[in-house]
Structure 1
């Protein structure tokens, strides 16, 4: 009977929460990386070099870094419904304001402000999911949520390319129309969030009484189990060695993710194809990665194994980056970029299932935000270095090797973290037996 109740509850909360947060992340990701398509024509209009584009694209994550932890703490205090609505409304306004940049300085300022506005969204959702889903299901749920990023690339690429064709309409450039139109969904959904999202299981009027009781008790039991082993202060979340190690692992995966999101259209454009063709070719790798990510995370949940699911996925991405740097035809390049997409996408759900296994409460809010804020600086380092290396060498190859090196470091750190954890567990077991 309990198993039937558990399945019923999980089915209800999954259908109520997951498709909606996927939609939110899809819109967020499009607004975050559509600069890659805008650059196809904007760089000529405004005279931007690859270094300016890379730095401006990456400075988003500096604003993100500075305001991520306080944003997530506020979300934990005031609730996801109010805070996510605020996040979406402010980022929608600033994303639309990108249409009016006119110099490198205004570009940098607006990208920085976009990062400030969006700070807290992603880790806020990860924290939000920890309120609703037991840990044994979390990697699969996070995978569904994170599938929105590659889906956003698959959907957004041809849409962004098509909007560039509006060049000259009402005396605006195509990239200006792209920024304006793609900002509208965030503004609309910001209002929807306020009325649709439920902060906690205790407030879920859409669950039956027995369903609500089972969910509340299950989540409270997990919380109490973590309380017997861990402290839950803000300082604990910021200074936990596991948190800092996971942040460094995430740094490499973020560098890879945003290199793809921002520079893949430019890399494909060097094949000499049209912007519309770039849009369709750039949609292929993320479609494949969605399938792989869901299957990979389900296997991680089924086996309970996290370390090798992160490490092997990072190595797959490394192989794809090396192949991409050595490939100069459309078929080979798209195949290589598909391998990179698959590797990076598959690494993230098992990685994000780790923090809430040893942290809860305020420590979870700060820990998750710390991992995301430090890790997302890879989203600054990757695109900025790619742009700088492109200006220095005239090629993307050196930048791709740089990102591959970061992912090798992520792999090594993951294995070290796992070995350290096993050593600590063995020592604790030996102490208990003594």
Structure 2
């Protein structure tokens, strides 16, 4: 059956998005809250258990050890049992474990439960990635991916005020505030698990509200994804993994992912303490975590809402623009460049004014989040084929290796240096800038064009303009000929980077 028109398909995919994206966003939000509420609890959790910054950093990072181990196995398992069943079981499991964090008495129990929580949460992202890849063609992935990162940002928006209220319950019922936090934020994951089991459709054709003609158009448009799903189910796991790690783009993507993990862990676990340092005019030295008043601690948690709220909006806007323009590399590199520069300059801004420091923190966190949907889409497009089912889990695992390094490294620098806060932000800013450069190099490598085009610059001179015009004409001819890879192909003045049957564009 012929595919529907572009406008018809847009309306159909909007219905599909509404059927899966809210549940996935809530799942990511709960996952991020239950792994990251430690950052809010740390303000009272660290002194109550008498943890050093190094021990806290090590404990927070242990989550990622078992999380990484489970990523690829769950990625291989997800297509066989489906996201609905897998997500429901995982949500119930990690909800129970997250609640048990309230019973921790010492560093040993803290370490053990963080390891168990990582194991329970490790299958959630592979299951959702696998599901999205059979519900959407590659050219439409940025916006669905964006909802996953919106869930991350919303965890900061919801988690901060909720944590503020729960920490204020300190002493009620004989419990510390952080114990109320773990109990009342862990239990909702169990309820969400039940909702996912009963509401999430297993296949695109099961989406409620679709007419028979819309289902037919959807199935025709997703024929390539259906064939890829059949192929990945029939391909041995070892072959799938080997295809990814032997890929020519693996080294650059791996280093970029590792850097992203270092930066992400720093933001997730140290943002409330950074804000507390701004409130108290502290350099976040080894004693800053335990310093200040209860009022300043609660204010820091509450103010943490703002950077993540702005980040949620930035993710949606950046992903929508990337999908509309059919361009990914610049939509990843430019926000990262802004984030890197501002992070490097953050100590100077914070020293000049706490308000200026807070504004710069908002911008750098929002820009870092805004790059994520495009980066995930790049990974998916560069690994088109049956091995895509393990590509995202593998690179997510590499990213979380960076997280294992990032959080304890931050704690150690803060504890052992007089100007720990200064050096943390300078180092983080420089590694973000390095990640930006690596993405641009990757884009140049994929483009295979003249230097100006490969660096996504405007072509210079008559020869450059002629080359750009020829590329545009070729793209238009391919689109007119009905090539699937040219769906949504850019017009004149754009460079098309072809990956398999899809195209990644870069504006020239």
**Aligned equivalents of 1:4, 1:353: Cα separation in 2:** 22
Structure 1 residue 333: Cα displacement: 2.0
Q: Contact 1:234–1:362 at 8 Å: present in 2 too?
A: no
Q: Contact 1:289–1:341 at 8 Å: present in 2 too?
A: yes
Q: 1:37 to 1:223 in 2, by over 3 A?
A: same
Structure 1 residue 157: Cα displacement: 0.6
Equivalent position of 1:418 in the other structure: 443
Which of 287, 306, 318 in structure 1 is aligned with 2:340? 318
When structure 1 is superposed on structure 2, of 42-51 and 2-11 the one drifting more is 2-11
Equivalent position of 1:432 in the other structure: none
Structure 1 residue 265: Cα displacement: 0.7
1:133 pairs with 2:155 = no
Cα deviation, 1:120-145, whole Å, max 9, x if unaligned, reads 21232122211112222211221133
Point out where structure 2 has 5 or more consecutive residues left out of the alignment. Answer: 281-294, 455-496, 499-508
1:246 pairs with 2:264 = no
1:194 pairs with 2:194 = no
When structure 1 is superposed on structure 2, of 9-18 and 404-413 the one drifting more is 404-413
Q: Contact 2:154–2:309 at 8 Å: present in 1 too?
A: yes
**Aligned equivalents of 1:34, 1:197: Cα separation in 2:** 26
**Aligned equivalents of 1:227, 1:17: Cα separation in 2:** 21
Structure 1 residue 8: Cα displacement: 2.8
Cα deviation, 1:323-361, whole Å, max 9, x if unaligned, reads 322314431221111121122111101001123224356
Structure 1 residue 102: Cα displacement: 1.4
Cα deviation, 1:27-63, whole Å, max 9, x if unaligned, reads 1111111111111011111100111111111111111
Equivalent position of 2:464 in the other structure: none
**Aligned equivalents of 1:188, 1:411: Cα separation in 2:** 40
Q: Contact 1:386–1:400 at 8 Å: present in 2 too?
A: no
Which of 265, 271, 276 in structure 2 is aligned with 1:269? 276
Q: Contact 2:79–2:229 at 8 Å: present in 1 too?
A: no
Q: 1:239 to 1:187 in 2, by over 3 A?
A: farther
Q: 1:424 to 1:248 in 2, by over 3 A?
A: farther
- Within 5 Å, give how 1:3-14 maps onto structure 2: 3-14=6-17
Which of 306, 322, 333 in structure 2 is aligned with 1:300? 322
Cα deviation, 1:192-235, whole Å, max 9, x if unaligned, reads 1111111222444653222222222212235669999xx98342
**Aligned equivalents of 2:309, 2:113: Cα separation in 1:** 30
Q: Contact 2:66–2:116 at 8 Å: present in 1 too?
A: yes
Q: How many residues align structurally?
A: 426
1:282 pairs with 2:267 = no
Structure 1 residue 416: Cα displacement: 2.1
Equivalent position of 2:427 in the other structure: 402
**Aligned equivalents of 1:290, 1:17: Cα separation in 2:** 18
Partner SS, residue 142 of structure 2 = helix
Please report the TM-score for the alignment, with normalisation by the length of structure 1: 0.91
- Within 5 Å, give how 1:314-353 maps onto structure 2: 314-326=336-348, 327-328=350-351, 329-353=353-377
Structure 1 residue 424: Cα displacement: 9.2
Q: 1:226 to 1:304 in 2, by over 3 A?
A: farther
Please report the TM-score for the alignment, with normalisation by the length of structure 2: 0.79
Partner SS, residue 371 of structure 2 = helix
Q: Contact 1:127–1:368 at 8 Å: present in 2 too?
A: no
- Within 5 Å, give how 1:373-392 maps onto structure 2: 373-392=397-416
**Aligned equivalents of 2:227, 2:113: Cα separation in 1:** 43
Q: Which of these two proteins has the greater Rg computed from alpha carbons?
A: 2
Q: Contact 1:242–1:417 at 8 Å: present in 2 too?
A: yes
Equivalent position of 1:260 in the other structure: 267
When structure 1 is superposed on structure 2, of 408-417 and 16-25 the one drifting more is 408-417
Partner SS, residue 48 of structure 1 = coil
Which of 191, 210, 213 in structure 2 is aligned with 1:210? 213
Structure 1 residue 112: Cα displacement: 1.4
When structure 1 is superposed on structure 2, of 157-166 and 301-310 the one drifting more is 301-310
**Aligned equivalents of 1:401, 1:325: Cα separation in 2:** 8
Q: Contact 2:344–2:427 at 8 Å: present in 1 too?
A: no
**Aligned equivalents of 2:52, 2:414: Cα separation in 1:** 10
When structure 1 is superposed on structure 2, of 203-212 and 254-263 the one drifting more is 203-212
**Aligned equivalents of 1:349, 1:279: Cα separation in 2:** 27
CA RMSD of aligned residues (A): 2.5
When structure 1 is superposed on structure 2, of 175-184 and 310-319 the one drifting more is 310-319
